Structure 1
Amino acid sequence: MKDERTTGQWLGVTMLGAMASAICGYFVLLAPVFDGPGFLAGAAVHDGRVRAGVLLVLLSALLPLAGALALWPLLRGHGERLALALTALAVAALAVSVVEQGLLLAMLSLSQAHAAASDPAAFQPAYAMAAGARYAVHYLALLMSGATSLTLYTTFFHARLLPRILAACGMAAVALQMAAVLLHLAGQPFHFTLVAPAALCQLATGLWLLARGLRRKTSMTLAHAA
């Protein structure tokens, strides 16, 4: 019981930490740099801000992998398919996030060169290519993160590690978030109202795990998933 409580609390820390670092990275540190004159013209004077944002976003992608690895020993006795899928998706999500943040740092380098150049307009085509690639990879990262969260809630649901209503709400909320991303990629406006339920479920799940840990017994195993 002690191991399950400790593992659950660590999972709660990773979920809350990933949520906090993503919000701080994307919305507090990076979003203002894209406003005003734009990233190409303005990022050079916010070098530290951009690099700190990059680190926080990478942390938000690393923490789910840490949670998946912590959960692995507990799931190993119940069948490994979902556990393997969870770990593989967390690794893939981290890899895509590394690519995205690498492109953002390339955009920062272009901004610094742009600020020092005698002909700043010459950097516009290269910046447009880097920004377009980063935009595409960003939404791929959101999809991979959503797939990781969906697999985590599915694992919680089948193993009864959480109250099933909480796990089911998490599955539905993440599916809604992924639908919002796919609709945006199809040309529709991005609706943050479709993402809000997933954020609320992650907050609720993280707080539950932090307070209660994982359930001691699982009345349903994952043997059918092995």
Structure 2
Amino acid sequence: MNQERTAGQWLGMTMLGAMASAICGYFVLLAPVFEGAGFLAGAAAQAGRVRAGVLLVLLSALLPLVGGLGLWPALRRRGNRLALALLALAVACLAVTAVEQGLLLAMLSLSQAHAMAADPAMLQPVYVLAGNARHAVHYLALLLSGATSLTLYTSLFHARLLPRALPACGMAAAALHMGAVLLHLAGQPFYFPLVAPAALCQLGTGAWLLARGLRQGASLTRAHAA
């Protein structure tokens, strides 16, 4: 069915787009601003870079919601009860990411004030509070992002919309991603190798969907009870 092929390709584009925008936003644009003299001292001179990074990070959180909306008809036709949960988690992740990026923009304003202040040291305690708040919200956003991915892969697995090995690997990778975040929230160092499989699965699943779309044909399962 062309409709499901198109929906799958749309989902693949949003998965790859979200991954690309997150990498460019967090690592290419924003990460260098925290290096050198540090964000408080250096961000004011790189305000355009910070704002561009914020927009890309927001885009990376918006695209999973867009992909979930495109997938909704295919999941509902198969009576998949996780369709609504997928959208709810995507909305929650977008909202928390918006809060995180709002705090980052507040930190940018502090940096600009720091550059013009007669006594820059007075701004340090406020900056530390804003930075700690952003750090906490950032990891909550990562946890919600992992939960959204886990729900997406579980939906695709149960609806048989992909070869089952793809979403099965994605489910395991999303669980590792969430485990890394939970361990960090419990006070452990953030272990990046636990997050790498999630990135690889997103890349592989997104590329498959873009090339092949959702699995076509066959039968629908029981209609979802109203």
Using the size of structure 2 for normalisation, the TM-score is 0.96
SS at match of 2:167: helix
Q: 1:220 to 1:165 in 2, by over 3 A?
A: farther
User: How far off is 1:223 after superposition?
Assistant: 5.6
Write the deviation string for residues 33-73 of structure 1: whole angstroms up to 9, x where unpaired: 00111111110000000000000000000000000001111
Partner Cα separation in structure 1 for residue 206 and residue 212 of structure 2: 10
Indicate the residue corresponding to 1:148 in structure 2: 148
Give 5+ residue unaligned stretches, structure 1: none
Q: Percent identity?
A: 79
Q: 1:222 to 1:163 in 2, by over 3 A?
A: farther
User: How far off is 1:80 after superposition?
Assistant: 5.0
Write the deviation string for residues 123-177 of structure 1: whole angstroms up to 9, x where unpaired: 0111111101000000000001111000000000000011101110000001001
Indicate the residue corresponding to 2:83 in structure 1: 83
Q: 1:70 to 1:215 in 2, by over 3 A?
A: same
Structure 1 residue 103 corresponds to structure 2 residue 103: yes
Structure 1 residue 121 corresponds to structure 2 residue 91: no
How many aligned positions are there?
226
Structure 1 residue 17 corresponds to structure 2 residue 27: no
Indicate the residue corresponding to 2:130 in structure 1: 130
Give 5+ residue unaligned stretches, structure 2: none
Q: How does 1:1-226 map to 2 (within 5 A)?
A: 1-217=1-217, 221=221
User: How far off is 1:81 after superposition?
Assistant: 2.5
Partner Cα separation in structure 1 for residue 222 and residue 155 of structure 2: 8
Partner Cα separation in structure 2 for residue 130 and residue 222 of structure 1: 50
Amino acid at match of 1:27: F
